[in-house]
Amino acid sequence: MKARVYVTLKKTVLDPQGQTILRALEGLGYRGLQQVRQGKVFDIQLNGLSKLEAQQQLERIARDVLTNPVIEEFRCELED
């Protein structure tokens, strides 16, 4: 079973890395850009679990290990 966890900075948290990319892109001549924010994505392969177990384990992993709850938020997607 394949799963994907997206970890992104909360909207209220400043993203200096994204701002640097935005300024670099503007410097390269790209127009119409307003904001760039960078996050992380984790592709996880799970085996031998039911869909419900996988979903629950994935949420636990995302919440307890992959995300810093002070500044980040996460979203999980489970494929079949």
Closest approach, Cβ 70 to a second copy, in A, equals: 20
Distances (CA, A) of 39 to 17, 21, 43, 61, 62: 10, 13, 14, 17, 14
Backbone angles phi, psi at 35, to 5 degrees: -155, 140
Tell me if 79 contacts a second copy by CB under 8 A. no
Place of tokens 């200096």: 16
Query: Binding residue for a second copy (CB under 8 A) from 39, 55, 63, 73?
Result: 39
Q: The tokens 């079949």 sit on which residue?
A: 80
Of the residues 14, 20, 26, 40, which one makes contact with a second copy according to CB under 8 A: 40
Using CB under 8 A as the binding rule, whether residue 12 contacts a second copy is answered as: no
Binding site for a second copy (CB under 8 A): 6, 8, 18, 21, 24-25, 28, 30-49, 53-54, 57, 60-61, 65-66
